[in-house]
Amino acid sequence: MSASPHGSHPTARTCLVIYAALIVLTGMTILAAFIDLGSLSTPVALSIAGLKAALVGWFFMNLRAERGLTWVYAIAGLLWLAILYGLTLSDYVTRGWLSPLAG
């Protein structure tokens, strides 16, 4: 068999360590849901989710060994996600700007 053109694959030990990290981060997400963090609840949950997504992309999807067009698509996906978050946030923030119609 020939070597993979995309670099080396993670070892079984690396996969198990990343899997354990994902389990711990999932536990942190559940713990954060039950702790009253006030206005920090959403940023904490999104930060944990972003870290889990980064671990999955970097190791299990093997983005660390990819070049060129794969990175373009990965960045385009993140840019599209940022656009969707921005549009959702702009809708949420501006909902109270219009006065209710007089009955």
pLDDT at 2: 46
Taking the model in full, what pTM does it have?
0.69
Question: Which of 1-5, 55-59, 62-66, 93-97 bottoms out in mean pLDDT, i.e. has the lowest?
Answer: 1-5
Convert the pLDDT of each residue in 30-82 to its tens digit: 999 999 999 899 889 999 999 999 999 888 887 877 888 888 888 898 899 99
Determine the distance from the C-alpha atom of residue 81 to the mean position of all C-alpha atoms in its chain, rounded to a whole number: 10
Annotated domain spans of the chain: 10-61, 66-95
Map residue 45 onto helix, strand or coil: helix
Structure tokens belonging to residue 65: 């060994």
86/57 Cα distance (integer angstroms): 23
pLDDT at 1: 44
**Residue 15 and residue 72 in contact, taking contact as beta carbons nearer than 8 Å:** no
